[in-house]
Amino acid sequence: MTIPTNLAALLWLAGAAIAAQNVNACWRNSTCDRILEPSFTGPWDKFNFAPRSRFVAPQTLLSLSDGASVGNYCADGTIIKASSTGTVFDFGLEVGGIVSFDYSLNGSTTNASIGLAFTEAKDYIGRKSDNSNGGTGQDTALLFALNGTQKGQYTMPDVSLRGGFRYLTIFLIADDSASVTLRNINLEISFQPTWPNLRAYRGYFFSSEELLDKIWYSGAYTLQTNSVPGNTGRANVQANRTGWNNAAYIGPGDTVLLDGAKRDRWVWIGDMGVAVPSAFVSTGDMESTKNALRAIFDNQSADGTLPKAGPPYLSKDSDTYHLWAIIGFYNYYLYTGDEVFLQNYWPKYVLGVNKILSKVNNKGIVNVTGTADWGRWLYSTERGSASMLLYRALVTGSHIAGWSPDLTDASAHKSNWTAAATALQKSIIEHFWDESRGAFKESPNNTSLYPQDANSMALAFEVLNASDHRADRVSAYLVTNWTPLGPINPEVSANVSTISPFITSIELEGHFKVGRPERSLELIRNAWGWYLNNPNGTQSTVSEGYLANGTWGYRGDRGYRNDPSYVSHAHGWSSGPTSTLTEYLVGLRVTGPKGLKWELKPATFDETERAEAGFTTGLGKFSAKFEVKNGTVRVRWDTPYSTEGYVQLPGQKGMVVKGGKGSIVIRK
């Protein structure tokens, strides 16, 4: 896949200092993180999309009529005539926050206003913003009435913070003879609020294939845009509202991981199954994850039911999102070893596990009563994905109980959950496996749908392990749904062929798990590479979803009002390549809390000549790399001395190693 020449320029612009304000600044009253520099520096820094300053300016000007570039932005002044439709200011990548500028009007101020409209996708530049408010009304534009003033300074009100956009259209409503000169257009970035240096990543990735590097960093940057102040969520107000309100409380602490930069700007806990591993290996920001989990578990019902989203939308109607919350709890503890959090929330965690276990029916599978889910059309009460998720929750819960035997009734829970997982695994295969199709059914009696989610989960969660001959059959079945832009998702494609990067992120892990890394990498290059290279996208983030014909109408017929502008172009649930390239291509991943135990199991040496990655935990820095040269493979690693690892190369026997530096050389 070719990479557009302008992408390199955009990456350079993202890293340039583009405003004079203090580079090391946190958002408003947020408590600043003490980490000022990245854990790893090197040639990969050029792929990091994060700006060097919290204050950024537009990069270029575009024609509103056709989106063509008409020159570079100059802070000294841009003239906009009332007789024109306006001017588009392109920031060069996804941004979000509060816009300000100086203005000087030439002409009558009577009934004069300056309008601002925002969009993530270039398709929707114009006098109306792309939609985000969740109601039936339009976002429209933000209008600033001059009220007789000829010149002055304007700053957007905080309630109108725009969480995600690339393009800003500014226009003048006044007598046709009037014009306004704008100077010093500036955006104060609101995301990653506690970081004084937005580029201070705790992880990195670098390979011999630039496209993979850029995709990895687009996922990382997406997760930054999704880590926001806890009082900047979308308000849950009347359904027919127009405009937008991003001043709602969504969770505790200074920073919270939500679903998307533009929308919904809530904690949707299902998204964290993909977002949290990717955040850990890249930005390393686990504080936002912890606060998102708190937003969910602090609002648990007395019977153990967890909400599918955080405030202000505390609906408790999704068993699958309940399960994702339990899995997210495990991921957070695995990556951080946060004992205080574990001790405080263990009773709620146990209550949540036992609540969902109570829904296992006489077939030994989950009977779903909280039917809401990630957007699929068919909500079977015995859907396979729910049982797959419960299997993962039970296995990971057993791990927690085993790691922390001093927790209340840990030993009993470990024994019970392990036994329940074993029984559930057998029931899943008995009731969902279709031998003739080589795939898992939607439900025991439904042979018309073989969903991408359940089949991907069966591999990623190791319901079928790599040695099971059925695993490769499932992997092969999933490939039958592929298009040049990614897999068609059967369970959301009732009326139009739709691609879900969220479920495809799980599919990536599944192919890696069963020894088909070439399939995972082909998917990454095709699906995520297509979006990154799309001139109408953000060219810096990962999108929520799209159609197989290459348009943005994801879920248009499934709750999105047939409005393609509503789609989010910076959605953390689509960041699967970021975690899988680190954890499977390079093969470096933690297997014990905080990385006390880890493994290095590169998936293949046939797809790339070189790949390396690293991340950071409370114990220190972990890194690994491999290089193929002249028929020889050299693998190196460097981990904290207090740790223990397991190293296994493709086709070789594994070995236990102590933390520190190590290397292996083999013939390919």
What tens digit of pLDDT does each residue of 538-559 get? 999 999 999 999 999 999 988 8
Omega before residue 312 within 30° of 0, cis: yes
Residue extent(s) of CATH 2.60.120.260 domains in the chain: 51-189
> For position 252, what pLDDT does the model report?
98
Cα–Cα distance for residue pair 576/313, rounded to 1 Å: 26
Residue 24: which pLDDT band, with cuts at 50, 70 and 90?
Answer: low
Q: CB pairs under 8 A, 24+ apart, for 651-654?
A: 654/601
Show the CA angle centred on residue 350, arms to residues 346 and 354, nearest 5°: 170
Helix, coil or strand: residue 479? helix
The CATH number of the structural domain formed by 589-667 is: 2.60.420.10
* Residue 7 pLDDT level (bands cut at 50, 70, 90): very low
How large is the average pLDDT for residues 361-377?
Answer: 95
Q: Residues of CATH 2.60.420.10 domain(s) within the chain?
A: 589-667
Q: 637 — phi, psi (to 5°)?
A: -150, 160
pLDDT of the residue at 163: 98
Q: Could you please report the per-residue DSSP string of 594-619?
A: GGSEEEE----SSS-SEEEEEEEETT
Alpha-carbon span 262 to 571, nearest angstrom: 9
Write the pLDDT tens digit of every residue in 177-221: 999 999 999 999 999 999 999 999 999 999 999 999 999 999 999
Q: What is the pLDDT of residue 590?
A: 98
What average pLDDT does the segment 507-517 reach?
98
* Greatest CA separation for the chain: 80
| Residue 589 burial by Cβ neighbours in a 10 Å radius (0-12, 13-18, 19+) | buried
CB within 8 Å of 651: residues ≥ 6 apart: none
Q: Which of 1.10.260.40, 2.60.120.260, 3.10.620.30, 2.40.160.60 would CATH assign to domain 51-189?
A: 2.60.120.260
Q: CB count, 10 Å around CB of 178?
A: 19
CA distance 526 to 533: 10
How far is it, in rounded angstroms, from Cα 227 to Cα 292?
A: 10
Contact (Cβ atoms closer than 8 angstroms) between residue 508 and residue 576: yes
What is the per-residue pLDDT for 408? 98
Strand 151-155 versus strand 204-207 pairing type:
unpaired
Phi and psi (nearest 5°) for 98? -115, 125
Q: What is the pLDDT of residue 393?
A: 98
Query: How far is it, in rounded angstroms, from Cα 5 to Cα 536?
Result: 15
Tell me what the mean pLDDT of segment 483-494 comes to.
Answer: 95
Element at 644 (helix H, strand E): strand 644-647
What pLDDT sits at residue 14? 45
389 pLDDT exceeds 60? yes
Q: Are 638 and 665 in contact (CB under 8 A)?
A: no
Strand-strand pairing, 597-600 and 644-647: parallel
CA atoms within 13 A on the CB side of 388: 25
Is pLDDT of 2 > 50?
no
What is the average pLDDT across 369-381? 90
Answer for the pair 618, 287: CB distance below 8 angstroms, yes or no: no
Decide if domain 204-585 falls under CATH 1.50.10.10.
yes
Nearest partner of 448 among 549, 363, 377, 526, judged by Cα = 377
The answer, yes or no, to whether residue 263 has pLDDT greater than 80, is yes
Q: Quick one: how far is CA 144 from the chain centroid?
A: 33
User: Which burial class, exposed, middle or buried, applies to 508 when counting CB atoms under 10 A from its CB (0-12, 13-18, 19+)?
Assistant: buried
pLDDT in tens, 222-252: 999 999 999 999 998 667 788 999 999 999 9
Confidence class for position 495, pLDDT limits 50, 70, 90: confident
Measured CA distances, 201 to 34, 276, 277, 281, 335 (Å): 13, 15, 14, 9, 15
Both tokens of 105, joined, read: 């009007």
Examine the pLDDT at 349 and tell me if it is beyond 60: yes
Candidates 213, 117, 211; CA nearest to 167 is: 117
Q: Where in the chain is the domain with CATH 1.50.10.10?
A: 204-585
Residue 379's pLDDT band (boundaries 50, 70, 90)? confident
Q: What would the mean pLDDT of 521-536 be, rounded to a whole number?
A: 98
Q: What is the pLDDT of residues 132-175, one digit of tens each?
A: 998 888 999 999 999 999 999 999 999 999 999 999 999 999 99
Tell me: the pLDDT tens digits for 69-117? 999 999 999 999 999 999 999 999 999 999 999 999 999 999 999 999 9
Q: Provide the percentage of residues in the chain whose pLDDT is more than 90.
A: 91
Confidence grade of residue 15 (pLDDT, cut at 50, 70, 90): very low
What pLDDT, on a 0 to 100 scale, did the predictor assign at position 238? 66
What does residue 194 show for φ and ψ, rounded to 5 degrees? Answer: -95, 5
For the residues 516-536, what does the mean pLDDT come to? 98
- Please state, for a pLDDT cut of 70, what percent of the chain lies above it: 96
